Amino acid sequence: MTPLNLITETKISKELEFHLNEGLSLTENVYRPYSENFFNLINEVRNLYNKLLTGERLTEDQRKDFVSSGINLFKANTRSIDTFREGFVKTFKNKNINPSDIFMDSDFRPDKISVNGQEIDLPRGTILDNFDISTGEYIYLLPTGQRFKLKR
């Protein structure tokens, strides 16, 4: 769902609707600058903007769909990173470089995790599996099928 759809599904004032339909910026306000009505319109837009930022207008299904789309994009990215990194492993080993010491700035997975009270390098093939909206935790899936949560 686009921000425009969210706005069109929201009750807005006639004045804001006029600005949207005419493509006018808020500086070309229909009210006298700095009047009470001028600021009411500005506040209406600010409130809508804040609702869009927090996802307040999204239903639970829309939120789940949004999270699912993001996770699928992230999974595709991490598979590409793993494939790219794997292409250099032989070279790293020939140069006595530990492949786990190679940092890729677009890989948001943690470097190390705690499994059964023991800190280990993140196994290759670990993917982001889900995101818990209520707790803000990322749920990763290890190649073994085991899941772990991480809050950032």
pTM: 0.44
138/26: higher pLDDT: 138
Domain boundaries, the chain: 3-54, 60-151
Residue 6: per-residue pLDDT: 47
Query: Per-residue pLDDT averaged across 98-102, rounded?
Result: 72
**What pLDDT digit, counting tens, does each position of 24-82 carry?**
777 677 778 778 888 888 888 888 878 777 767 667 777 777 778 778 777 777 777 77
HEC readout, the chain: CCHHHHHHCCCCCHHHHHHHHHCCCHHHCCCCCCCHHHHHHHHHHHHHHHHHHHCCCCCHHHHHHHHHHHHHHHHHHHHHHHHHHHCCHHHHHHCCCCHHHCCCCCCCCCCEEEECCEEEECCCCCEEEEEECCCCEEEEECCCCCEEEEEC
